[in-house]
Amino acid sequence: MLTTPHGSVPTPLFMPVGTAATVKGVDCGRLAETGAGMVLANTYHLHLRPGAAVVEQAGGVARFMGWPGPTLTDSGGFQIFSLARQVRVTDQGAFFRSHLDGSAVELTPESAVRIQEQLGADIAMQLDHVVALPAERSSVSDAMQRSLHWGERCLAAHRREDQALFGIVQGGLEPDLRQESMERLRCLPFAGYAIGGLSVGEGADSMLATLQATVPHMPVDKPRYLMGVGQPTDIVAAVAAGIDMFDCVLPTRCGRNSLVYTFAGPVRLRNACHASDQRPLEEGCPCRACLHSRSYLRHLFLADEMLGPILASIHNLTFYQRLVARLREALVAGQFAAICQQILASYSAADGSRSPAAATEFGSSLE
């Protein structure tokens, strides 16, 4: 259980991504209906628009967007990767050209903390240096060392007692660098620890190997957060490894592009096989999309009606909450390995993405 000033959320938990203080296409009322307990927003984007002062004046990011529960803000470190053509990184910080108007934007550990304190999220993240993978070891090592130094500066700058600050493990695909990063971070008084720098081109097998090298060195009494990773199979594998928290844009991004997730595997709604299919996306799913048939949902996409992406996004967000809830229940019931095998088998049969044993080979001790 993760406890925050705005409520407690059971773990493992999945946070929908509300980059600009909105989860794309889904208002907060319907977002709550999906079962979501916590939402992520982005420091860099909110700093540019509408500005941290505007959000602070509104009472913080949760009140600004009308969300009744806990929130987490990323520090802007991911934008160092995603906006690489527009950023220059030094030991002092990251210097951007705004993707909105080209104006200069400086993001240092101190300013990232100050902005997040204005945004008022329950959990803030240290500024870290994310590099694309695969990368030369020297580049990965430099980014890891810089992230450690930035973490110390973030802690020194942090003032809000009602806001937790998490550290971020870096080190690319180098096991020894990941271990060094974690060993040094755990000596610092962070409230939780995140694994960053993944889902940036490394592939699923490399991600799992990185988790194996990192998670055993993470404190067991503080939250463990895997940033930006969100394929259902990856979540299953990461929970098996001991991860508590996740976020990803996939539920809404895939929903907008007619790909929906079910416990029987992914469904591509534009496929002709759904033209006359009167079944819901998934029997037993309580979401608004499953009040309709696959045939109708397919029609919405082919007719370019905005309701199609909205309903598909709602279904995917609901599926992700049902997925982590099923994993929580399996852990309590001592059936975790069996549930992992069942879920992975469905996705392996659907797309051949992974062996059903992959997620449980290092998680069997949880039984």
Give the active site residue among 27, 74, 234, 277.
74
Q: Distance (Å, rounded) from C-alpha 219 to C-alpha 242?
A: 11
Residue with tokens 């037993």: 284
β partners of residue 146: none
d(CA 233, CA 354): 8
Amino acid identity, residue 86? Q
Helix (H, G, I), strand (E, B) or coil at 27: coil
* CA atoms within 13 Å, Cβ hemisphere of 245: 25
**């007619």: which residue's tokens?**
258
Measured CA distances, 170 to 89, 102, 164, 196, 243 (Å): 16, 29, 20, 6, 16
305 by DSSP, 3-state: which? Answer: coil
Residue of 122, 234, 244, 247 marked active site:
247
- Euclidean distance between the first and final Cα of the chain, in Å? 19
Active site (annotated) includes residue 247: yes
Catalytic, 128? Answer no
Catalytically annotated residues: 74, 247
